[in-house]
Amino acid sequence: MTLTGTYRRTLDEKGRFAVPKRLREQFDEQTISSLYVAPGTERSLALYSSGAFETLAKRLAERSPNRSEVRNYLRMFYSRAERIDVDTQGRVRIPERLLEFAALKHEVVLLGVHDHAEVWDTRLWQDFLARHEQEFDRMATEAFD
């Protein structure tokens, strides 16, 4: 199923937030007991279901390991990615190193982005929107070319 929507959340003192039920239901598995969290682009984090993470891993495995950029990306991506548990209240705890990577402090935004969700610091997301909203029509044209 395609993940969609924007959800505001608050990190607690343990680096946890609740994944909204509506978003949890959009993941491609019946019962979500764990997710994978990984570094994303523009200082965001990516949340994947197990199935989506395996699909991504297969795509990445097709890249040439002989290219140094590919090797370096794979090292940086997989060394920081981690399976995290979803507790009975739908909360996940983000590892400290990934909280630092994404500059997550208190207020966060979760975005459904096709096959994964992204986690952004609210201020960074607002800055991203301010920089790119005016380009939406041009981006849409390129996306559908």
- Domain residue ranges in the chain: 6-143
- State how far the Cα of 122 lies from the Cα of 109, in Å rounded to an integer: 6
Q: Is the pLDDT of residue 30 over 80?
A: no
Percentage of the chain with pLDDT > 70?
Answer: 97
- State how far the Cα of 80 lies from the Cα of 73, in Å rounded to an integer: 11
- Return left, alpha or beta for 102; rule: phi > 0 is left, psi -120 to 50 is alpha, else beta: alpha
User: Under a CB-based contact definition with an 8 Å cutoff, are residues 111 and 120 in contact?
Assistant: yes
CATH topology of domain 6-143: Chemotaxis protein chec (3.40.1550)
What is the tens place of the pLDDT at every residue in 91-117?
999 999 999 999 999 999 999 999 999
- Label residue 36 by pLDDT band (50, 70, 90): very high
Residue range 53-68: mean pLDDT, rounded: 89
Long-range contacts of 139-145 (CB under 8 A, 24+ apart): none
